[in-house]
């Protein structure tokens, strides 16, 4: 019997080209607008533009393969590229100093997401997305767990939009509150680094407070971002166990393997971080790699926006936004409380 015909690479490229090029074009515009409006940032603009194009212009089905490819594969590649700029040596000292606060705020975020989400009636995958985004690193964390838990695209878009909404509020509100509370530079840096989600928003809030606060907040945030690795691994094993049990109940346990769900891109992220830490990346090209990683994640998030059905998002109601607000407040308050207890305010 003849094997089923395989789709050749040129055919795949032709199928994916329209959606990929559309996401790149919108992503480029988002990148430029993000430079003009840094408090909002390219990722937020990209996903909003994607949602608008999807729901106002309704791209045809020929764009679907490329949009799906960009929202998944390019998303994973962007995370790997970010690893080149993460120095493991740099974060070691500050990471150990901030670890207690980071672990408490992460625990609070996940507990608040679970309890409040259950009370509000938000389904599990959206709870995980909002909890992970608030606990670790906003859109990047959501991007990292998306290939593992495989949520609907409109859930991913909703979670990212919700997270970045509170990022913008934090950038404007945190420095004012920090001055009102007479926080030290290191205290504010630790608060911003552990309680604001996205790296760009942490940097914006930190340096608007002081240069020292900005430096400290950035390193704390980078340390916090590395925790996406164990979180992804735990989620992968949980999902794997559920899939194995489901297949076993259906009498098809042999059709499932851990390798099929394991987030291999996280291992490549570690390799990229090790390469960056070892100084194997020439200094002259580091800014270009950073820009490429930023652009790739904007394009990937734009594609997620292009996949989002606004009517489904609206049908979700205010509950996910209330969940994001509740988790964000819980994290911000718990960070301050831990610092007060250990005397680091």
Residue 313 has a pLDDT of 60
Contacts of 236 (CB under 8 A, 6+ apart): 148, 258, 261, 262, 263
Burial level of 316, CB count in 10 A (0-12/13-18/19+)?
A: middle
User: Which one-letter DSSP state was computed for residue 37?
Assistant: -
- Listed as own residue / partner, the contacts of 328-332 with beta carbons closer than 8 Å and 24 or more positions apart are 328/134, 328/166, 328/170, 328/195, 328/197, 330/108, 330/109, 330/112, 331/105, 331/108, 331/109, 331/112, 331/134, 331/135, 331/194, 331/195, 332/170, 332/191, 332/195
Select the more confidently predicted residue: 109 or 297: 109
- Rounded to an integer, the average pLDDT of 330-345 is 84
Residue range 246-251: mean pLDDT, rounded: 60
| CA–CA distance, 2 with 28 (Å, rounded to integer) | 45
Q: What's the confidence (pLDDT) of residue 251?
A: 55
In a domain, 9, yes or no: no
Number of Cβ atoms within 10 Å of the Cβ of 241 = 11
- Average pLDDT for 46-75: 86
Q: What is the pLDDT of residues 150-194, one digit of tens each?
A: 777 777 877 877 776 787 788 778 988 999 999 999 899 999 988
The C-alpha R_g of the chain, in whole angstroms, comes to 20
Residue 4 lies in a domain: no
Is residue 8, in this structure, part of any structural domain at all?
no
What is 41-77 written as a DSSP string?
Answer: -HHHHHHHHHHHHHHHT---GGGHHHHHHIIIIIHHH
Residue 66 pLDDT greater than 50, yes or no: yes
Whether 29 and 35 have beta carbons less than 8 Å apart is answered as: no
Domain that holds residue 291: 16-342
Residue 6, in any domain of the structure: no
Mean pLDDT value across residues 39-50: 78
Structure tokens that stand for 120 in this block: 């509000």
Cβ count near 60 (within 10 Å)? 8
pLDDT band with cut points at 50, 70 and 90 for residue 345:
low
Q: Would the pLDDT of 310 be above 70?
A: no
Distance, in Å, from the CA atom of 334 to the CA atom of 328, rounded to the nearest integer, reads: 10
The span from the CA of 78 to the CA of 73, in Å, is 9
| pLDDT tens, residue by residue, 75-86 | 778 878 877 876
- The helix/strand count (H/E) of the chain reads as 16, 0
**Number of structural domains in the chain:** 1
Residue 5 falls inside a structural domain? no
At 330, the pLDDT band (50, 70, 90 cuts) reads very high
Residue 262 pLDDT > 80: no
Window from 53-67, 77-91, 131-145 with minimum mean pLDDT: 77-91
Q: pLDDT category, 12, cuts 50, 70, 90?
A: confident
Q: Residue 262 carries which DSSP code?
A: S
Tokens of 181: 């509370």
Answer yes or no: is 7 within a domain: no
Neighbours of 179 (CB within 10 A): 11
- Answer yes or no: pTM beyond 0.75: no
309: how many CB neighbours lie within 10 A of its CB?
15
pLDDT band for position 40 (50/70/90)? Answer: low
Within a domain: 106: yes
3-class SS at 342?
A: helix
| For residue 283, pLDDT beyond 60 | yes
- pLDDT band, very low/low/confident/very high, at 329 (cuts 50, 70, 90): very high
Decide if 73 is inside a domain: yes
Cα–Cα separations (whole angstroms), residue 243 to 163, 230, 231, 258: 29, 20, 18, 9
Question: For residues 115 and 231, which has the higher predicted lDDT (pLDDT)?
Answer: 115
166 contacts: CB under 8 Å, gap ≥ 6: 134, 197, 324, 325, 328
């Amino acid at each position: 019997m003849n094997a089923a015909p395989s789709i050749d690479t040129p055919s795949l490229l032709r199928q994916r080209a329209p959606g990929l090029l559309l996401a790149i074009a919108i992503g480029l515009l988002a990148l430029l607008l993000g430079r003009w409006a840094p408090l909002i940032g390219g990722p937020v603009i990209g996903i909003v533009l994607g949602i608008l194009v999807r729901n106002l212009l309704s791209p045809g089905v020929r764009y679907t393969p490329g949009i799906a490819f960009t929202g998944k594969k390019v998303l994973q590649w962007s995370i790997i590229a970010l690893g080149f700029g993460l120095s493991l040596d740099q974060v070691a000292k500050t990471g150990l100093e901030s670890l207690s606060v980071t672990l408490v705020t992460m625990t609070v975020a996940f507990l608040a997401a679970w309890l409040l989400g259950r009370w509000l009636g938000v389904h599990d995958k959206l709870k995980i997305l909002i909890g992970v985004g608030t606990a670790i690193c906003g859109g990047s964390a959501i991007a990292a767990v998306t290939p593992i838990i495989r949520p609907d695209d409109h859930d991913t878009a909703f979670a990212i939009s919700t997270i970045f909404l509170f990022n913008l509020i934090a950038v404007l509100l945190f420095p004012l509150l920090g001055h009102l509370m007479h926080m030290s530079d290191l205290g504010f840096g630790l608060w911003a680094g552990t309680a604001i989600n996205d790296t760009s928003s942490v940097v914006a809030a930190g340096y608007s407070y002081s240069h020292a606060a900005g430096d400290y907040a950035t390193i704390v945030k980078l340390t916090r971002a590395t925790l996406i690795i164990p979180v992804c691994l735990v989620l992968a094993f949980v999902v794997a166990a559920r899939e194995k049990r489901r297949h076993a109940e259906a009498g098809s346990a042999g059709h499932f393997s851990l390798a099929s769900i394991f987030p291999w891109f996280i291992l490549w992220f570690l390799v990229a971080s090790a390469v960056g830490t070892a100084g194997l990346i020439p200094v002259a090209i580091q800014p270009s790699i950073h820009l490429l990683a930023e652009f790739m994640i904007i394009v990937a998030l734009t594609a997620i926006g292009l996949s989002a059905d606004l009517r489904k998002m609206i049908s979700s109601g205010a509950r996910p936004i209330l969940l994001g607000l509740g988790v964000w407040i819980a994290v911000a308050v718990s960070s301050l409380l831990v610092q007060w207890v250990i005397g680091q305010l």
